Amino acid sequence: MNVHVSYGGSVELRTERDSLKDAKMIQEKLKNAGYNAKLREYNGRLEVYIGQDEMRKHPELMTKACEILRRMLNEAVSEGKIKRTKAIIKAMKNLNSPTQKPTDQTNTTETTKKAGAAAGI
């Protein structure tokens, strides 16, 4: 699944499929694993997704999503993508995402502060 961040700051885990059979199979496997995965049509394809409200109920999803958001933030900052940086920072705030691990607290905190300053927030 992919981590998707909207410019409004919402986060979803998503995967797309062409076949209804494949999409329902993924949805069923996720439901059997205890996740409330939903199915929708998106851009002419089928999408299985887990929204941020469901993610908050599962610490393991939150941990992984926050790790990925940190990487996405660093990439957006290094590429100078201000609008993307703002969206990722907002998403991290929406998820109450810790901005760093204890081992790299200084570097990531500084990166997040620089990103926020560059984004004007």
Six token digits for residue 121: 């927030």
Q: What pLDDT score does 41 carry?
A: 95
CA quadruple 69, 9, 110, 108: dihedral, nearest 10 = -20
From the CA atom positions of the chain, what is the Rg in Å?
16
Length of the chain: 121
- Mapped onto helix, strand or coil, the DSSP state of residue 103 is helix
Provide the angle, in degrees to the nearest 10, between the axes of the packed helices 105-119 and 59-78. Answer: 60
Q: What pLDDT score does 5 carry?
A: 95
Q: What pLDDT score does 88 carry?
A: 95
- What pTM does this model have? 0.76
Instruction: Give the rounded distance of the alpha carbon of 95 from its chain centre.
Output: 9
- List average pLDDT for each run of 10 residues in the chain, which is 121 residues long: 93 95 96 95 93 93 93 96 95 80 44 51 52
Q: What pLDDT score does 21 carry?
A: 96
